[in-house]
Amino acid sequence: MRMPRLTAFLTATAVFVSAFTLAARAAEEVHVLNWKGYGADEPWAVANFEKATGFKVVNDFFNSEQEMLTKIRTNPGLYDVVMINAAFNDQAMAGKLIQPIDVSKLSNYADIAKDKASSPMLNHDGKVYGVPWVWGLTALAINDKSFDKPPTSIAEMWNPAHKGRVIIRDDAVEAVQFGAIASGQDINDIKDMDAVKAKLTSLMPQIKTFWSSENDWNQMVASNQIDIGTYWSGSADRAKTHFKLPVSLVIPQEGAVAWLDAFSIPVGSKNVAGAEAFINYMIDPKFYVEWVTKVGAPVSANTKAVDALPEDAFNRKVMGSPDVAKRIQFQAPITDAQREKYLALWQELKVNVK
C-alpha cells in the first residue's frame, strides 16, 4: 500500500509545485493592453523597464477604444495595465472593468500637471482610476511635397486641388467631431448635426481612403498617394523624426480635437505591483525625453518631462503655446446613444467613397 500512497504524494507535490511555479511566473509578468507602436511598447523601453524592475512585459494590442473595452470585458484577469483615452475611462469604470490606483506608490505622479491629474474623467469619489500619460491632437498633417507653404485652415481638406488625395481616420466619433470643428461647433456640445453631416458629405469626394493605424497613414504618404489628412500630433512627429517622411503637422485656425491618454489597472489584475511599476516608469521624465528624441511622441502629462525638452522643441514651444491652447477642444465622454448616432452617420457617409 505504500507505493500507491507514495505515488499519490509525489503526484500531488508535482501538481502543487507546478501551480506554484505558474503563479510565480504570472506575478513576474506584467500584461499590458496597448496601442501598437505607441511608446509603451518600444523594444528599448521594454528592455530598460525589465532590467530595472525584474518584471517581464507581455504586450497585447488594440486598434480602437471599443476593441480595448471588449478585450478587457471578455478576458477578466488577463491584463495588469491598460491604456485608455480619458474620454472612455468613465465607461470602463461604470462597467467595473478598472480599479482604483494607489498613486502613493507612483513616485512620478506628483509631477503630473494638476489640470490633467485632477481631470474628472479620471477621478471618481476621491479615487484615481487613470494616471495621465500623454496628450495630443487630432489635427491635420500634410505631405510636404504637395505644398509650397503649410495651409492654415481646415478648409484645405475641401480644396478641389486635393480631390482623391485626402485621408481621414476611420473612426465615427473622431470624424463627427472633426465635422463639428469644420462647421464652427463645440465637439462636446454639437447643436447642429445636419451641418456636420453636410460638411462631411461634401468631403467624401475628396477622400482617397480611410486609415486606422500609423502604418496606414505613413505608407500612403511614403508612396506619395496623399496630400493632406487628419492625423495624430505624436504620429506626425514620429513620421518626420523616426521614419524621415515628408510630413508636417498643421493645427488649423479653426481648432483641433485634443485627447488625453492614461494608464489604468483592470479589475482582477494578478500583478498590481508590476502594474504600478510599469505606469511609474512610463510617466518618468527620463523615459519620455528618450522617447521624444529617438522616435517622436505626443506631449507628456508630466511637467518635469516637458521642461526637460529643449526650449524650441515642438512639444514645448508649439504645443505649449497659449494660442494653441485657446484653439483646441479636449474630448469629453459621450453616451452610448450619441456613439450609435455617430456610427450610423459615419457608415452612411462611407458608402459613397469608392
Q: What are the tens digits of pLDDT across the range 140-191? A: 999 999 999 999 999 999 999 999 999 999 999 999 999 999 999 999 999 9
Q: Which of 3-7, 37-41, 349-353 has the highest mean pLDDT?
A: 37-41
Predicted pLDDT at 247: 97
Predicted pLDDT at 57: 98
Q: Which amino acid makes up residue 22?
A: L
Which residues does 208 contact at the CB level (< 8 Å), separation at least 6? 164, 165, 166, 167, 220, 225, 226
Q: How confident is the model at residue 8 (pLDDT cuts 50, 70, 90)?
A: low
Q: Residue with C-alpha cell 466619433?
A: 173
User: Which residue has better confidence, 64 or 51?
Assistant: 51
Q: What are the tens digits of pLDDT across the range 88-110? A: 999 999 999 999 999 999 999 99
Q: How confident is the model at residue 242 (pLDDT cuts 50, 70, 90)?
A: confident
Query: pTM of this prediction?
Result: 0.84
The Cα 25–Cα 37 span in angstroms is 26
Is-contact 121 258, C-beta < 8 A?
A: no
Is-contact 59 233, C-beta < 8 A?
A: no
Phi, psi of 278 (to 5 degrees): -65, -45
Predicted pLDDT at 302: 98
Q: How confident is the model at residue 6 (pLDDT cuts 50, 70, 90)?
A: low
Q: What are the tens digits of pLDDT across the range 285-298? A: 999 999 999 988 99
All cell numbers assigned to 286 = 527620463
Is-contact 169 128, C-beta < 8 A?
A: no
The Cα 204–Cα 195 span in angstroms is 15
The Cα 111–Cα 115 span in angstroms is 11
Nearest C-alpha neighbor of 62 from the set 44, 78, 46: 78
Predicted pLDDT at 352: 72
Q: DSSP letter string over 240-251?
A: HHTS--SEEEE-
Q: Does 328 score more than 80 pLDDT?
A: yes
Predicted pLDDT at 27: 55
Predicted pLDDT at 241: 86
Q: What are the tens digits of pLDDT across the range 22-37? A: 444 455 999 999 999 8
The proportion of the chain whose per-residue pLDDT surpasses 70, expressed as a percent, equals: 92
All cell numbers assigned to 38 = 505607441
